[in-house]
Amino acid sequence: MSAKEAGKEVTELSGEERVARLKEAFASYDGQALAQSANQFSVMMMAAHGENPDLASETFPAVEAAMSGIDFGKLREAIVALLDYGGAVTSKALEEALANPVIIANLVGALPPLANSLIDLLSVLLENMDLPAEILASALFNVLSALDAGKLGHVLSEISKQVKSLHAGNLILGGDEPRLRAVFTEFTKRVLDNLDADVAARALVALGEDGEIISGVLVDLLSRDPELIDTMAWASVELANTVTRILASALSRAAEWPDEVLAILGKEGRVLDTAELGRAVDFFVTYALRLRKANPGLHKELYTRALQAVNTERVEIHLRAVAGDLKDAAVAHPGISNALEPEEMGRRVNEMLAGFNKSASPAGVKEYLSRLFSAIDSRELEAAVRNIAGGVVDGLFANAKVAKSILKAVASGAWKLTKNMVGLLINR
């Protein structure tokens, strides 16, 4: 019977008859025979390996002869031709399929059942791997112990060598400039020439907006479940604690490094190109100034909109609370508390005064202040002092009660100062 006739016969069967045919076909498989065949194969391979472990290496001459006898040029062309045929057939099949909505609907409709089947398999696998913790850990440790770490290290070393050689070849081929720059520039140019930048930009915006929706939904669902919030908070804190411990442990080890190691680090650190960092800062400032000049009022508008959205009263309350907490924490620290004692503060002031007196002289201070005052515009200074003094006096006497209190306090302070100075002079 031909395949066409067999297919026609099957299509003419009823549903029950087709199920019966399938049952009959599957029932014909002998599971015991399959298991026996697998066992025989295992025994045969174990015996062969035990008698001749080098059996595979003995085939190397045949492999060598094959590799030396194959015309790889023709093989390459044959592979290219095969891929060309395959690509043409696949492209034609896709064109025909995409042109028929019914085909697309059926193919797409098969995806969810396929995904569900894979999920079911994964679920069964994970459920049956629910082993005791010590057994699961032991299995993982046995795998790690059995891995050839030496060969893995060798592979990583060889990869590193290839990367280094690739970089060296890039410099050799490029001459005055790395070859990668020209190659990558040409590659990127061809990509951009065929890229619809507007569509790509809109796609990125669309992805961002969709991400905003997804994150909003997740946050909303999370907010409805206090237990889940507690779990996420616990996980975040524990993760932060772990990272902190890692950092503290690393820094504690670094603090114990011998001086010769630190000297090596300093030697390598001198190669750091801080001049380029300075140039980057300078270029950023130049860019910021030019952007401001090209867009008058832009920064003011942005800052105004941002500040208008801030509740300054709540910010003030928060800052006062934070300042109080920091003050209490500082006072509770023995080192900070001791440093703020009057005697300790006095000692530090004395040290600063002694350091200043060592580096300064009356002549130097005179010269500095002379040059400073000569560079100040006296008319502008006079106007500034007049504006400040006039504003203070006008504002002070605008409220007679406040002005009276301030003048009374100033007069009292001046009288006490004068009396103490006179008493000091008499005693001396």
Q: Return d(Cα 133, Cα 117) in angstroms, integer.
A: 28
Token pair listed for 396 = 């002070």
Query: At residue 73, does pLDDT exceed 60?
Result: yes
Tens digits of per-residue pLDDT, 326-338?
A: 999 998 999 999 9
Asked whether the beta carbons of 97 and 104 are under 8 A apart, the reply is yes
Asked whether the beta carbons of 330 and 336 are under 8 A apart, the reply is yes
Q: Where are the domains of the chain?
A: 1-50, 71-125, 387-428
The arithmetic mean of pLDDT across residues 354-369, rounded, is 88
Query: At residue 31, does pLDDT exceed 90?
Result: no
The arithmetic mean of pLDDT across residues 25-36, rounded, is 82
3-state secondary structure of 343: helix
Its pTM stands at 0.71
Question: What pLDDT score was predicted for residue 5?
Answer: 57
The CB density around residue 154, as the number of other CB atoms within 10 Å, is 11
Cα dihedral 307→311→312→318 (10° resolution): -120
Query: At residue 4, does pLDDT exceed 60?
Result: no
Q: Looking at this protein, which amino acid is placed at residue 109? A: G
